[in-house]
Amino acid sequence: MDPYRDHILLIVNVASRCGFTGQYAGLETLYRQYRDQGVVVLGFPCNQFAHQEPGNEDEIKSFCTLNQGVTFPLFAKIEVNGVHTHPLFQYLKAAQPGILGTQAIKWNFTKFLVDRQGKVIKRYAPSDIPETISTDIATLLKAK
C-alpha cells in the first residue's frame, strides 16, 4: 500500500459476474474525476460470494478493461472474510464495522473510504452506488 501513501482511497471488493458489476462504471468515473487530486480507487477481486469472480488475475483484468473500461488499479484475488481474510480487509472491517457492529463483508462491492492518513472514514454497502460517494470524497479533499 506504500505507493498510495498520502492518497485518499476508495477500496472495493469487486466481482465480474455480480449483479453490482455495473458499478465498475461509476467507480471508474470517480477515479477519473478525482485522480489528479490524489484519489485512487483500488479494486480487490473476491470469489467468496456465489463464486462471482471465478477467473484468474489476467482474465479479471482483461474483463474489467475491455468490458468495463476500468483503468484504476486491480489487485490479485483475495478473501475478505474467514480465516484467510487479507490483512487490509481485516483492518478495514475492524475500523468500520457494518450494521449492528458486524465485521463480515456481506457481498461484493462493499466499499471503504480512507483518508490521506490511513483512517477509514466510512463503509458503504454494496447497494450504495459510487456516485453517492462523490460528496464524501469532495469533503475529504477540502480537508487538506
Question: Could you tell me the residue ranges of all domains in the chain?
Answer: 2-142
pTM greater than 0.85: yes
Residues of the chain with pLDDT under 70: 144
**According to the model, what pLDDT value does residue 75 have?**
95
Position 144 scores a pLDDT of 66
Name the amino acid, one letter, at 94.
A
Instruction: Tell me how far CA of residue 117 lies from CA of 2, 5, 35, 44, 113, in angstroms.
Output: 12, 8, 17, 21, 12
Q: What average pLDDT does the structure give for the chain?
A: 94
Cβ pair 122, 96 in contact under 8 A: yes
Nearest-5° Cα angle at 27, 129 to 105: 60
Q: What is the pLDDT of residue 11?
A: 98
- Report whether 64 contacts 70 (CB < 8 A): yes
* pLDDT given for residue 5 in this prediction: 92
Report the distance separating Cα 125 and Cα 140, nearest Å: 19
d(CA 53, CA 51): 6
Q: What is the CATH number of domain 2-142?
A: 3.40.30.10
Largest CA distance in the chain: 40
Strands of 8-14's sheet, edge to edge?
39-45, 8-14, 111-114, 120-124
pLDDT of residue 2: 87
Rounded CA separation 90/113 (Å): 15
Residues taking part in catalysis: 18
Q: Tens digits of per-residue pLDDT, 30-68?
A: 999 999 999 999 999 999 999 999 889 899 989 988 888
**Rounded distance between C-alpha atoms, residue 120 and residue 97, angstroms:** 10
